Structure 1
């Protein structure tokens, strides 16, 4: 069964088990050694896999500094995944879990409900991870989030984690917004243009968004830059021009 299918099965099992209505469970806590990253540049060594002796603690660093709680958790996950040589697998698992959870209102409610006992949250995510056959790093990380009441932040943490994996791979995310999907030829041309702008050291990861409100044209966002070539923006610019008073002295 594909990973996304296993995750759906795990969340389906979670729904059937009715964790939202259960009282505190006396589930045994896993004997995991888990630590958190302290503020992004003062890293406290966190080992999620309980196999710290098998991996050298050589100079593994995050490719960019992230701040705040979500940044710290994302950095911790990144370091653990890199040290265990499972970065791509963990990335795939986290993204698939976030996507599957969006389609489960029950799981989303559960993740946000801090009144659920921590041992109940931990037991639930272990069931989902077991069904999905997640790696040990991902499983332990999700248990940590559940125990610390951070499961509700999984979307944000996942986004910050992807920032790190993309930086590690030399990728730059570009978001193009259009009224209808770009034809393959135009998408290829846009990708090549962005690649020329970014230079040979970067790889473009193109994400398309559909927004009928821009009326036509496109909006491209990358590297904290926005190129707005939409008909909507052009129309607003024209409207402002027409509304400006005419300076007679220049006539």
Structure 2
């Protein structure tokens, strides 16, 4: 029997007027990822990257990227604003088999590549990683479009003048011609002072906490 979360999400898909399509399944998705290698726009690592990379490759081979991107935007909205859906995908009690069936119902009307991807996540017990995988996939899309992701962590809120200076420094020092910057700012009082900067796969630790740790290690 379909869970309440699946019913809610499936109803939302119908309201959006998406035409129903059959489920390709995990084997079809895996087969798409096993063919001739596709060059990724940026090298990402970790569990979420493994699934995001496979989805990106499958989209490139099937030429379904625009359609899948729309599907993922819908899934992102559900995973952030639909408490029932969030609770469902993170519920460890529901069996993998039931989640495979439910995701088949939920994804009716979505692209076959998207449906196969969701089936793989459900079969592997990784639906709880969905939000992270979606974020990682967005990094791949941005990299393909020349958008460089950067995150600045400060001990306190930065002024607009400080932000402009940081943006200018990153753009002139780390971006190639034709690239644009997508800068995010986080506040973490634990770094005491200074900054931590993540630019793509580069990490610069300019925090006071890091300097203090370095001194402590030297003394030890």
TM-score range, shorter chain: 0.5 to 0.7
Aligned length: 200
Alignment partners' CA distance in 1, 2:212 and 2:47: 41
Long gaps (5+) in structure 1: 1-11, 18-29, 46-58, 245-251
Deviation at 1:176, TM superposition (A): 0.6
Maintained 8 Å contact 1:175/1:206:
yes
CA deviations over 1:117-173 (Å, ceiling 9, x no partner): 51x21233345446xx75554344223422343324434533442342132112222
Larger radius of gyration: 1
Using the size of structure 1 for normalisation, the TM-score is 0.59
Alignment partners' CA distance in 2, 1:223 and 1:89: 24
In the alignment, is residue 162 of structure 1 matched against residue 162 of structure 2? no
Q: 1:7 — aligned with what? A: none
Alignment partners' CA distance in 1, 2:169 and 2:196: 14
In the alignment, is residue 121 of structure 1 matched against residue 113 of structure 2? no
Go from structure 1 to structure 2 and tell me whether the alpha carbon gap of 1:220 and 1:72 turns closer, same or farther (over 3 Å shift).
closer
Maintained 8 Å contact 1:37/1:73:
no
Maintained 8 Å contact 1:101/1:107:
no
Go from structure 1 to structure 2 and tell me whether the alpha carbon gap of 1:225 and 1:184 turns closer, same or farther (over 3 Å shift).
same
Higher-RCO chain (CA-CA 8 Å, sequence separation at least 6): 2
Alignment partners' CA distance in 2, 1:66 and 1:225: 12
Maintained 8 Å contact 2:71/2:111:
yes
RMSD: 4.0
SS of aligned partner of 1:36: helix
Deviation at 1:202, TM superposition (A): 2.6
Go from structure 1 to structure 2 and tell me whether the alpha carbon gap of 1:92 and 1:182 turns closer, same or farther (over 3 Å shift).
farther
The partner residue of 1:192 within 156, 168, 171 is 168
In the alignment, is residue 233 of structure 1 matched against residue 210 of structure 2? yes
Q: 1:84 — aligned with what? A: 64
Deviation at 1:213, TM superposition (A): 1.1
